Amino acid sequence: MDKKAEILEKITQAGFPGKEVAVTVDEFFNGNEDDGSIGANLYPEQPSLQFFWDTFNTMLASAKVENIFIRIADAEDTDWFYTDTAYVVGDVTFEEVTEMVKELHPSEIYNEWMYGQPVNLSGINPGKKVYSLWWD
């Protein structure tokens, strides 16, 4: 089974597409060759998939970021999955997140889960801050 099919089976069991789901950074980017899967409307300055992945991994290496999850918004109209939102979880301030992701050009950064906490994410420490990075 290919990577997309494995992930699709996992998120479908969690209730996708009727319910909000998210995957890890590695799940989203490993095997992804679809430039339109994230930040698609950042024309003409769209960061590469590798740049998104590298930026998220740099953030994850920070002591202040506990995890990053990628919301799955669509699985049908693209070669890979499509997302408009990444969730950053940790002990990081709004200003720190804004600085960390400035080169990814999110349209907006929200406090908390923009679409509600994904149903397949459990064990999120309620004491941690959550930020939603959203791309139009």
Q: What is the pLDDT of residues 60-70, one digit of tens each?
A: 999 999 999 99
Q: What is the pLDDT of residues 13-44, one digit of tens each?
A: 999 999 999 999 999 999 999 999 999 889 88
pTM to 2 decimal places: 0.95
Residue 101: phi and psi, rounded to 5, are: -110, 10
Using DSSP bridges, classify how beta strands 85-90 and 22-24 pair: parallel, antiparallel or unpaired: unpaired
The ranges assigned to domains in the chain are: 3-134
CA angle 34–110–64, rounded 5-degree value = 85
Rounded CA-CA distance 15/120 in Å is: 9
